[in-house]
Amino acid sequence: MNKIFLIIICILLIFSCKNKKTNVSNENNLFSTSISNNINENEEIKIGAIYALTGKAAKDSKDSINGISLAVKILNEKGGILGKKIKIRYYDNQSTEAGSQIAAKKAVKDNVLMIIGCQYSNHTLAAAPVIQEASIPMITDSSSNVNVTLIGDYIFRTCSIDSYQGMMLAKFAYQKCNAKRVSILIENYNEYSKGLADMFLQTFSKYKENSVKVYYYNSGDTDFKSQLLSIKNENPNLIFIPGYLKESGFIVKQAKLLGIQAIMLGADGWDENIFTYGGEYINGSYSSTFWTSEYQTDENIKFISSFKKEYGDTLITGSTALAYDTVFLIYDAITRAGIFDRKVIRNVLAATSGFRGVTGTISFDGKRNPLKPLIIQKYSNNHTYFYSILENEEK
């Protein structure tokens, strides 16, 4: 009798363990592929946004945050997405790569549906592997380093890649600025700056009768006299500075004060805020951007009107417009998917074609990079003005 009783107990224990193991497996699969059940139970869609809320990059990130906030407000006033209001949950990357990785892990733990950010390429390169592993769709508005989307099939971007920018800026320098002698100032340990410089150099070196000299500086530097004195001796026609606002502004100002007459050329890391650091010496310079107020499309006219109503005279930058477009790309993808399922949303997002945004018409290529034109802006009278459009030659 005791033997039969023990056999029955053992059989019951085996079935109990088997069922428990199956339940755990199902929970893990649900977390990694779909959060439909969670969304249906809640009134809000949680979307993570990883940006610098503190540290040296916080001022730049504010432009993107303004664009996100405006887009979310407009969409929520119209009922949100599939009848659910959007809730943006911000994660501070503290302006560092380590902070970006920590922020990504927090967003994954919070089980957000999708993630927007980061702004700087270095930060996105640190955060994206964590997000890719969790199979959460991520769209960066401003990280243009070519390696960002190569991390995995859940990583997208709204801006053009550095290789395209660098190539087109080199052509602009040679064909429109008649530059033959060029100096390039690259920020050490910055993938964004290096990526732009590499493609610029590769493209420009193909032209005949040219010379290029490369110089380096560190993030946070304020004195560039040593590099600029060497550059002055080279007497370049043009100086290419693929950096961010603060250092680039100081470089241009100090170059002009040293009597360097070369044309100054930047990339999308520049905007009108650069006058804060370079003052009137910025006038006469050029840079690339992804947005202009002179786009006379219905989308852009409505965007500018809504922004001014919400933020008054606050400057609209390319990052603001890109972040705004990013939110509407998310809205478009989820609406077409018809379900709050990350894998389905990712697939629908990847198939995006002909999306009409404020930064132009967006279609994603096979590496989840947008095919769109590049805009050149000129700095004059302490403001930026539309100069020309460089059409995407990869279409």
Number of CB atoms found within 10 A of residue 90's CB? 18
Per-state percent for the chain, helix, strand, coil, to nearest 5:
50, 20, 30
List the one residue out of 159, 168, 104 whose CA is nearest residue 136. Answer: 104
pTM of the model: 0.80
* 175 contact partners, CB below 8 Å, separation of at least 6: none
Does the pLDDT at position 263 exceed 60? yes
Q: What is the token pair recorded at 317?
A: 């930058």
- Whole-number mean pLDDT of the chain? 90
Q: Give residue-wise pLDDT tens across range 10-37.
A: 444 444 443 433 332 222 333 344 555 4
Q: What's the pLDDT at 190? A: 93
| Of 331 and 28, the one with more pLDDT | 331
| Of 69 and 297, the one with more pLDDT | 69
Q: Give residue-wise pLDDT tens across range 158-191.
A: 999 999 999 999 999 999 999 999 999 999 999 9
**Angstrom distance (rounded) from CA 15 to CA 1:** 22
Give all domains of the chain, ordered by start, each with its CATH number: 38-160+296-364 (3.40.50.2300), 163-289+377-390 (3.40.50.2300)
Q: Give residue-wise pLDDT tens across range 42-57.
A: 689 999 999 999 999 9
